Amino acid sequence: MSFESLGLRAELCRAVSDHGYTIPTPIQQQAIPAILEGRDLMGGAQTGTGKTAGFTLPLLQRLMDTPSKNGKRPIRALVLTPTRELAAQVQESVKTYGRHLPLESTVIFGGVSINPQIKTLRRGVDILVATPGRLLDHVQQRTIDLSKIDILVLDEADRMLDMGFIHDIKRVLKLVPKNKQTLLFSATFSNDIKQLANGLLNDPVLVEVARRNAATETVEQVVHPVDKGRKRELLSFLIGSNNWQQILVFTRTKHGANRLATQLESDGISAAAIHGNKSQGARTRALSEFKANKVRVLVATDIAARGLDIDMLPHVVNYELPNVSEDYIHRIGRTGRAGREGEAMSLVCVDELKLLAGIEKLIKREIPKVIIDGYTPDPRIKAEPIINGRNNKGGGGGRRGGPPRSGPGRHAGGGENKSRGRRPRSRTGRGRGPNSAASKNS
């Protein structure tokens, strides 16, 4: 099957060919025709399966088939994403595949000045990619009009719910027309996602190209048991002895990411950290240097699990297992993309055995355990409770051991959230301007 056979116009097929693609992926084969027909769609696919092109290509064609009236350029397509990195990635896809079309697009997110965004919006755009927090900043300042939206896309909807965006999504839904095409994509289908879909989608087409909550089969997974105090030593040994040149490493906390990056640098391994407390410029620079192989190790928190698209990334290391089992799937999905093979290693101490059990239950398989010579865990060490980012004791393998979907401290849009022990102010009230903490993180 070719992209032409899916019914895409010549300009889009040319852009796809320019990008080096000739055969659509399974989710593209199923989603593109349904979207071109104007159907609502609920899509489930593992990360790295071509999902973004699966909705971007037909979205562009639908807008070309129904041009704006009177030469005006209102926002007609809105794509909501949970993080800045994912928003930037989607916008890049829109630009790539729409390069031969007379459509304008832009991306808005927090962590940067709102004024250039306002200027761009005033000039007019057809397609807007946004994180919920910054989108609502513009709504509050009356710098954006969503009343002409024809197509609404919720990308990584499960992650948006995890990050506490359900109330923001409901606010956005009140601002867009009821008569529109809605596309919802999610890597996992929880009960909350199903409930959201039932209230949002009209007779949707269900496109699911892999078993729900499944880890990609192109990724070789292994667990290396090790004492917590020797994890950094083992990581440096693995990098050096195997001559790994590009490694994405995940930690649970921002402080842990900073500390590990500094420790690796002291071991002579170039490293950078990326997380929600970093400025957008620092995050962009760190990712750019990592992609260009100027930095050997990128240490990230789960902010990066959904928003990074790195060609041929060979190695992902879980330095610490995530509190939420589903996040393991999204982490290791950064490698083994587009049918290529990859490796995912998890350094697991005795404290994390319950988290590991939860992950194995979710993916319905046991991950092989390999003890590295010289790093055999000390059986005398007893498990201690894991303290997560909200100063609560975690340790469960699923959602119960992880952060809640909503509530205090879960309203930042670009990554980890800053809980201050009180309920965040309403987005419509004071304190919700572009310089607020919530806006900076989305």
Tens-place pLDDT, residues 216-262: 567 889 999 999 999 999 999 999 999 999 999 999 998 999 999 99
Separation between Cα atoms, residue 402 and residue 72, nearest integer Å: 47
pLDDT band at 421 (very low <50, low <70, confident <90, very high): very low
Closest CA relative to residue 315, chosen from 337, 342, 338, 297: 342
Q: Do domains 4-208 and 219-387 have the same CATH topology?
A: yes
**113-131 confidence digits (pLDDT tens):** 999 999 999 999 999 999 9
How far CA 179 is from CA of 38, 39, 147, 149, 200, in Å, comes to: 11, 12, 11, 9, 11
**What pLDDT does residue 416 have?**
36
pLDDT score recorded for residue 210: 59
pLDDT of residue 426: 38
**What per-residue confidence (pLDDT) applies to 304?**
58
**Mean pLDDT across the stretch 394-398?**
37
Confidence of residue 286 (pLDDT cuts 50, 70, 90): confident
| Mean pLDDT, range 176-195, rounded to an integer | 87
Domain 4-208 part of CATH 3.40.50.300 = yes
pLDDT in tens, 381-390: 999 988 764 3
Write down the pLDDT at residue 390.
Answer: 39
* Distance separating alpha carbons of residues 416 and 404, to the nearest angstrom: 13
> 67 vs 180, which has greater pLDDT?
180
Q: What is the CATH number of domain 219-387?
A: 3.40.50.300
- Above 80 in pLDDT, residue 319? yes
The domain limits of the chain are 4-208, 219-387
Q: What are phi and psi of 184, to 5 degrees?
A: -120, 125
Calculate mean pLDDT across residues 88-101.
94
355-366 pLDDT, tens digit per residue, is 999 999 988 899
Specify the pLDDT at position 398: 37
* Lowest-pLDDT choice from 157-171, 292-306, 406-420: 406-420
pLDDT of residue 381: 94
Mean pLDDT of 86-110: 94
